[in-house]
Amino acid sequence: MNIQSCYTSFVPLYAILVSLLAVPLIIFSSKKKNLREFWTIGASLIKFGLVISLIPNALLNKTAEISIVEISPGIELALKADPFGVFFALVASGLWIFTSFYSIGYVRGLKDKKQTRYFSYFAICLSSTIGVAFAANLLTFVVFYEILTIATYPLVIHKEDEKSIRAGRKYLAYTLTAGSLLIAATALTYQITNNLDFKAGGMFKGIALTPNMALVLFLLFLGGVGVKASIMPLHSWLPTAMAAPTPVSALLHAVAVVKSGVFGIVRVALFVFGPKLMYELGLNNILVVFAGFTIIVASLMALKQDNLKRRLAYSTISHLSYIVLGTALLSSSAILGAIMHIAFHATMKITLFFCAGAIYVNLHKENISELNGVGKVMPWTMGAFAVGSIGLTGIPPVNGFVSKWYIGLGALQANNLIALIILIISGLLNAAYFFPILHRAFFRSGENLEGKKEASPFMVVPLVITAMLAVLLGIYPDFLFHFYHLAAMVVTNVLGVIS
């Protein structure tokens, strides 16, 4: 039943190109705002449609493949929509739709300058994210990963003030260094294997790899993708990059960029090294240690942030490491939970960022200490915020519970009690840093809030929908998009090889 097969299809390529083609259209209609935004929305809908169209075949484990051009002798710039790729592409392209609507409300609400640049680079970022998702081999992955790095920069510095320019520098310093390590790792892998194609279960099968070499290679990879995945101590660019506009933080720093990092970690762990090699060489233990440390420390640091976006950033860092931890445990449930957490954390965190942005645009408040009574003024927004908080804490019926449950189950399968304890503690810490916000918003009375109303529907509607999505996916994880099935498919593909 689980035979992997391939067929040639241009759909993955179209999915990348559609937002790239929107860029010139966006630029040329920079004077007509509505037309310009029409291109963004149109591209995001078409992109999502294209990705959706890949689901039925992915569920049958049939993989769409297309190679575009040979970019190095023997290595193609090739795309492959395997279940894992489709899963990630689905998350990124689906949430881009909401972010597009939300962005319109946000940048217009703040009367930002350079909106055209903003929408153009957003589209490029999405193209490269889908490229990362569908990359069939390491070099293709590197190409899109680096483009994503560069295309995000103009969004980070969007406000063009001293703070964001400094954030941009820091962002580049971290990510470009990581890119270099990734290139080194890729080149090294190529010299060893002579083939860079991702393979479920690992690409080093049948190739002699000394433990030391494997360790060096693994650390290079970890440095390469670990920065975007913001594993501690490589995380500090992320809170700084919160200087970017909120939709950027929402999509890129909760969905596209950081998830490309964790996506890369999963790819490296399960598709480059493979669970068997990871386990034999004890490489997964390195990941467990880093991830466990990050989960706890980031949660603790989140506690003391007063700036709402910074608190969310630290929460993101901590939750990204849930995914890393789940992957590193290498048991079937843990991997399943980790992969589902990619999607589920995205829906919850994007909701929270949208809320933070709506509060900022509407009330110009950034700090948690100023949020007293906001829940009464903006009930929808803060309601959605409550849903996201509950979900991230891991309380049913929101989807965060589901993925966390599976990771916990996986920890037991892997006989790793410490991992389980870390998960439990982290749940408590999540409650500790989220619930006070809710308390302030709903149960304290605020000042100077008379006459304030909800933010523009452009912003409120997306965030309510994402919150509802989070609940729906919590009750029925396979809802519409088959996240559960796709994730299960990845697990059988990856682990089926060893058994």
Partner 1 sequence: MIIRNSAALIPLILLFTAVSIPIVALKKKQIAFFMVMIATSLSVIISFYNIFRVLKVGTIHYHFGGWIPPIGIEYVLDPLSSFICLVINVIALLVLIHSKKIIEMESNIKSVPYYALVLLMLTGFNGIVLTGDFFNLYVFLEICSLAMYGLISVGGKQAPVAAFRYLIMGAIGGSFYLLGVGFLYIKTGSLNMADVRSIIPHLYDEPTVIVAISLMVIGFGIKMAVFPLHGWLPDAYTYAPTTSSALIAPTGTKIGAYAMLRTLFFVFGVNYVSKTLHITDILAWLSAIGIIYGSIMAIAQKGMKRMLAYSSVSQIGYIGLGIGLCNPLGLIGAVLHVMNHAIMKACLFLVAGNYRVKLGHSNIFKLNDNIRKKMPWTTAAFTVAALSMIGIPPTLGFFSKWYLALGTIKNSSWIFLAVLLISSLLNAVYFFRVLEKVYLKPMSSNDLEEPNMSKNSKADEVSSSALIPVLILSVALIILGLLNTIIVKGIIEKMIPAGM
71 binds partner 1 (CB under 8 A): yes
d(CA 133, CA 223) in angstroms, rounded, equals 19
Runs of H (alpha helix) within 235-367? 237-240, 246-251, 257-266, 274-280, 283-303, 308-329, 332-363
Query: Interface with partner 1 includes 208 (CB under 8 A)?
Result: no
> What is d(CA 112, CA 39) in angstroms, rounded to the nearest whole number?
19
Nearest-10 Cα torsion for 121, 231, 406, 249 = -30
Among 150, 219, 395, 425, binds partner 1 (CB under 8 A): 150
DSSP annotation string for 387-402: HHHHHHHT-TTSHHHH
Kindly list the distances between the CA atom of residue 47 and the CA atoms of 15, 126, 407, 484, 496, in Å, as whole numbers in the listed order. Answer: 5, 9, 31, 21, 31
Q: Is 176 in the site for partner 1 (CB under 8 A)?
A: yes
Per rule CB under 8 A, count of chain residues that contact partner 1 = 29
Contact letters (x/-) for partner 1, 186-205, by CB under 8 A? -xx-xx--------------
Could you tell me which of 364, 58, 344, 231 has the C-alpha nearest to residue 50? 58
**Which one of 90, 181, 258, 268 is in contact with partner 1 (CB under 8 A)?**
181
Q: Which is nearer to partner 1, 13 or 398 (CB)?
A: 13
| Residues ≥6 apart with Cβ < 8 Å to 154 | 117, 118, 121
x/- map, 154-173, partner 1, by CB under 8 A: ---x--x----x--xx--x-
Interface with partner 1, residue 413, by CB under 8 A: no
147 binds partner 1 (CB under 8 A): yes
Smallest separation (angstroms) from partner 1 to the CB of 108: 22
The reply on whether position 28 binds partner 1 by CB under 8 A is no
Tokens of 470: 């989070």
Q: Residue 227, interface with partner 1 (CB under 8 A)?
A: no
x/- track of binding to partner 1 for residues 259-298 (CB under 8 A): ----------------------------------------
Considering only residues 72 to 101 of the shown chain, the ones binding partner 1 according to CB under 8 A are 72-73, 77
Taking 3-state DSSP, the helix, strand and coil percentages for the chain, each rounded to the nearest 5, stand at 75, 5, 20
In this complex, which beta carbon is closest to partner 1, that of residue 214 or of residue 346?
A: 214
Name the packing angle between helices 332-363 and 308-329 (round to 10°).
170
Q: Which residues bind partner 1 (CB under 8 A)?
A: 69-73, 77, 139, 142-143, 146-147, 149-150, 157, 160, 165, 168-169, 172, 176-177, 180-181, 183-184, 187-188, 190-191
